[in-house]
Every structure is written in structure tokens, then in C-alpha cells.
Amino acid sequence: MPELPEVQTTVNGLKRHIIGLRIIDAWSDYSSAFFKGSKTIKDPAYFRTFKKEILGRKIVSVERRAKNIIIKLDNHLIILVHMKMTGHLLYGTYAFHPKLKKDPWEPIAPESLKDPFNRRVHFLLSFDNGHHLALSDMRKFAKVTLVDSRNIETSLHLGSIGPEPLEKEFVFDKFKERLSIRPVGRIKQVLMDQKIVAGIGNIYADESLWRAGVNPLERVATIGEKRLKKLYASIKQTLAQGIDFGGDSMSDYRNVNGEKGAFQESHQAYRRTGKKCGRRGCKGKIVRIVLGGRGTHYCNVHQKAAS
């Protein structure tokens, strides 16, 4: 699933391409009986309303909140996109082949859009400059909906999300306060709880804990102030590095140009099972366990076993 760095990389790319463009058409082949009556484009009835609301509107800004992409239009409406497990947004030019039931949108340019991971387009906006914004979503889990900008922070989609870890206001005392909400929780699961802190998922939790030398199974209350400070700094460093590297493309994620990020090349823990720990002077190796249904990776030496 795209995490904070991948979503921020996407937002940065969209800012360069789509601000000021006017939407002239919208297409979707999402259709699910499970989502009938929901306010997402997976309900065809909602999509028809969605399309009427956005046609002719100009894009004025693109922002991120947690793992959500917020595309603000020139009225009070926002297109909110959560890419979920396998979704990513792509900008370029496409040709439509209506006779093709599967993958009717053919990418024309840039060439990187032709990557197989970019070909499962299920939602697409057409702009007045002849370009398109496509959502490739192999497993069709992504969410696209409209939100009123006047109450977005209290909406169903964003109302319960915790603070942003890279904001200046997110000081150590705030971090400590947020973790204290779940004092007996396993630290990795607490970090991934979007109600506690926004944007951290499996990859960046593993990497931050490795950097800080904290075992993912440890209870929040047992970590202690000194190691909490190391973890706080590690989270900020790891997320910032993820953005600098253009996100992590070990799985499906691609940026808006259809290109891979490079954070996977700097992994120290995530999916490095059995490999020697890369920490200087450490003789441990990376082990894998399952925690809360998620694969979890850590060093069996410098990340001391939880008590």
C-alpha cells in the first residue's frame, strides 16, 4: 500500500502537472454490488453524480492528508483519492479503444506509462490540454469520492486521522502523547494506527524501528524516553528519505510519470529475511514474523527481543 512518502511523491508530481487544468470528461469502469449506495465511484449511480459535479471545473490545488490525495476544484468540492493496496495515479496521454473490455485505455506518452503495473486503468479524467489523469488499480481497492472542502477535516474520510509526523508542530512531546493513547499496544501496530499518527504503514514502520533499535513487539509503555526519542527521530528521517527517493516500488507503486521510486534499494529490514543486518558492528540477521496479520522484519540482535 502506498504510504506517506509515496502519496507525497504523487502529490508533488500532480502539482507540477494538473493545477490550472480544466476537467472535460470522466470515465470509470468500477462497479461493485458491495458498494451500492456508497458515496464512492465504485457505485455507478454515484459516479454519474460525481461526473456531473466535476465536469468543467478547474483544479486549483493538490495536497496530502495522511494517505489521502486531496484535489481541490474551483468551487467548494474536493476529489479525494485513497490509493489503497495497488492504486497509483498517472499523468500522460491515452487513447481509448471501446471494443476492448479489458484495459481499453492505451498509454501513448510518456513511454514509462506502458509498464505492465500501469496498465490496469479503472478511472480516468480528461483535461482541456489533451492530457489525462489515470488511476491504475490492479486489485480495484482504491477509493475516489467527492468531499465538501468546507468540512473536510471533520468528514468521514479524515475526521479521525492523527497528526502528520513531518509537520513542524509534531514535536517529541506530541509524539509521546499520541503513543500514550495505547500504552500496552505493540509499538509497530501503534505506529501503523492512523488514528495515532498519520501515514505510516508496514514498510516505514519496519525501517524506522530498525533504525531506532526498537523491537516491533515491544509494548509502548516499556520503551522508555531515551529510546522513544530515537524512534521519533528515526520516523522523521525514514519518511523524509522515502520522499527523497521518490517512494518505494518494491510492489506496484509508480509515480505520476509511471516510473519506479528507489526507496526499496535502501531497505535495511523490510523483506530482507535471512540477510545480515546492515548496522555497523551488528552481527545479527533480519528475521520475519507475522504481527497483526502483517509481515514484520527486524534484526534479532540490535533490536532486542520484547519482554
pTM of the full structure = 0.96
Name the least confident of 31-40, 48-57, 84-93, 161-170.
31-40
275 counts as catalytic: no
| Grid coordinates given for 283 | 552481527
Q: What is the pLDDT of residue 205?
A: 98
53 counts as catalytic: no
2 counts as catalytic: yes
Q: Is cis: bond before 2, omega within 30 of 0?
A: no
Please report which confidence band the pLDDT of residue 1 belongs to, taking 50, 70 and 90 as the band edges: confident
Over 70: is that where the pLDDT of 255 sits? yes
Of 39, 57, 285, 294, catalytic: 294
Q: What is the pLDDT of residue 306?
A: 54
Burial group, residue 151, by CB count within 10 angstroms (0-12, 13-18, 19+): exposed
Q: What is the pLDDT of residue 154?
A: 86
pLDDT tens-digit readout, 10-28? 999 999 999 999 999 999 9
Q: What is the pLDDT of residue 32?
A: 87
What lies within 8 Å, CB to CB, of 194 at 6+ separation is 66, 67, 160, 161, 162
Of 64, 67, 178, 188, catalytic: 67
Over 90: is that where the pLDDT of 299 sits? yes
67 counts as catalytic: yes
Q: Read off the pLDDT of each residue in 63-83 and give the average, rounded to a whole number.
A: 97
pLDDT tens-digit readout, 183-226? 999 999 999 999 999 999 999 999 999 999 999 999 999 999 99
Over 70: is that where the pLDDT of 307 sits? no
Over 70: is that where the pLDDT of 119 sits? yes
Q: Which residue has the cell 502539482?
A: 15
